[in-house]
Structure 1
Amino acid sequence: MAEDVKRGRGRPKAWDDKAAQNTIKSLDRALEVLVQLGQMQGGTLSEIAGELGQSPTTVYRVLSTFKARGFVDFDDESQVWNIGPAAFLTGSQFLRRTSLVERARPIMRDLMEATGETANLGIERDGKVLFLGQVETHATIRAFFPPGTASAMHASGIGKALLSRMDDKRQREVLAASKLEQFTPHTLTEPEAMIADLHAAKARGYAIDGEERNLGMRCIAAPVYNVFGEAVAGISVSGPTSRITEDRIPGLAEFVMKAAATLTTAIGGNGR
């Protein structure tokens, strides 16, 4: 019974049957068109059909279907088809999983062991911090941000680490959208005070959430960079102020910045 339930989560009962009946031939042919278009880096209908050995009519129907979903684009003037933004967005989910979340896991584990505190990974999404992963400390009292949790950037260590690397215009846009909601007496709610805090974070290389989201909890975070030197994620440690005391911040920050630099290198990034 348990085996049947487990199998049903992602595969039908005969999932291990390799027969051709388990594939959708029309979908397979359509994906051939998309893959070929990507390899060609664009082409006319006749060029694509010729490369695939398929009829232009069939290929046109496939391309039109993909175009309706944004997976391909068509230039009326040049009559050239190209890969569209939806294909990029779908592919980027794979890149994020393989190049960031998976590669971050052992680094976060090492960070947790080195500091004794919970390690977190997050990105900016729609003006908030989206937590992608966490390695919890063995200690009894701990911070908890399950993957998928969203939090205000201005009251988050990772959020402030990412904000500190944005240009002034983008910073103010994000802060204005958040309205600098106050969560605790320590939350920075004045724009100029927040900007000053972000400048300080940029100068020292790490950001601090000092009970700004939750009383009694402190977080230290540093940015992770992509190949263009853009801050695309943040890595942090968080825990109770009874353990992450102010005198421990500089030492813990060194571990956090080292972890962020290691992850930057692991994803082929260029730290500044």
Structure 2
Amino acid sequence: MTTDPPRQKTGRARSGDTGSVRTLERGLSVLTALAEFGEATLTQVAKKVGLSASTTYRLLETLRQQGYVEWEERSGLFSVGLRAYQVGAAFSVRNTLLGAAQSEMQALVDDLNETANLAVRRAGEAVYVHQVEARQMMRMFTHIGAVAPLHCSGVGKVLTAWLPGIEVRHLVGPGPYPAYTPNSITTLPALTRELDAVRAQGYALDDEERELGVRCLATPIRDARGDIVASLSISAPTSRFPKKNIPETLERVRAASNQISARLGWRP
């Protein structure tokens, strides 16, 4: 498991940034207004947001160039673009994922009495988006939003193993990678072999690679297309999760991840 990285203090924007922030705020207000209209003329949008037609047009044109707005030349109407839909869909997928996972994660913790985690990949890191804690006096804990390295965490390996090799190299780099413990994988060839094994066996193990005395078993969660969209894991001290318990734990965690995947529309 990882610890939450130090938070940066929120400060005031520098004077040079004020104009950019104001432009961003105006752009978002224009996009919001357009979403409420569905389709609208330049005049309608400008009136709605309280800006001049020329300013509103510049904002709309910038949004159009980035794919957030579309313009139909014949009618002269603006509408929300595909890129805005994709951003909204990402929020929808995340919340659909949490809804599908919550009851299964709770049942998993009730059965195993160990902490269950749900993580997704964001660029070159795994991000924890949900957790159900165990009732043990000594239990694993991480903050929602905390990150884990792809090369030495169970969830990171799962979220990486099914990607094309060239994408893996792009995400993790050529190495060497940070060694958090003597068990950490630090080279690309070793990581490649590990990811091959993860794909073959269908799960990943963090065997004291991120933190000594902690073992983590992770399995993939798939969407309706069969893509890996998240990873479900169980973390516990090695004293309570010896290697001989891996097959039994895997069976239970895999069943939970398969059930979550089914709720997302996946069919084997």
TM-score under structure 2 normalisation? Answer: 0.75
Counterpart pick for 1:136 among 133, 136, 149: 133
Aligned length: 230
Say yes or no: does 1:216 pair with 2:217.
Answer: no
Tell me the amino acid that sits aligned with residue 182 of structure 2: P
Alpha-carbon distance change, 64 to 144 in structure 1, aligned in 2, over 3 angstroms: same
Task: Note the 1:1-272 alignment, pairs <5 A.
Answer: 31=32, 33-35=34-36, 37=38, 48-49=39-40, 57-59=43-45, 65-69=59-63, 71-74=68-71, 81=78, 83-84=80-81, 87-176=84-173, 179-268=176-265, 270=266
Runs (5+) with no aligned partner, structure 1: 1-26, 38-47, 50-54
**Percent of aligned positions with the same letter in both sequences?**
30
Tell me the amino acid that sits aligned with residue 58 of structure 1: Q
Match of 2:20 in 1: none
Deviation at 1:186, TM superposition (A): 0.3
Match of 1:12 in 2: none
Alpha-carbon distance change, 267 to 140 in structure 1, aligned in 2, over 3 angstroms: same
Tell me the amino acid that sits aligned with residue 35 of structure 2: L
1:96-116 per-residue CA deviation (whole Å, 9 max, x = no partner) reads 342012321111111111222
Match of 2:13 in 1: none
Deviation at 1:65, TM superposition (A): 3.9
Q: Which has the higher contact order (CA 8 A, sep 6+)?
A: 2
Structure 2: how far apart are the matches of 1:107 and 1:65?
Answer: 45
SS at match of 2:151: helix
RMSD: 3.0
8 A Cα contact 2:30 2:60, kept in partner: no
8 A Cα contact 2:126 2:159, kept in partner: no
Tell me the amino acid that sits aligned with residue 112 of structure 2: T
Deviation at 1:83, TM superposition (A): 3.0
TM-score under structure 1 normalisation? Answer: 0.74
Of residues 228-237 and 170-179 in structure 1, the stretch that sits farther from structure 2 once superposed is 170-179
8 A Cα contact 1:224 1:271, kept in partner: no
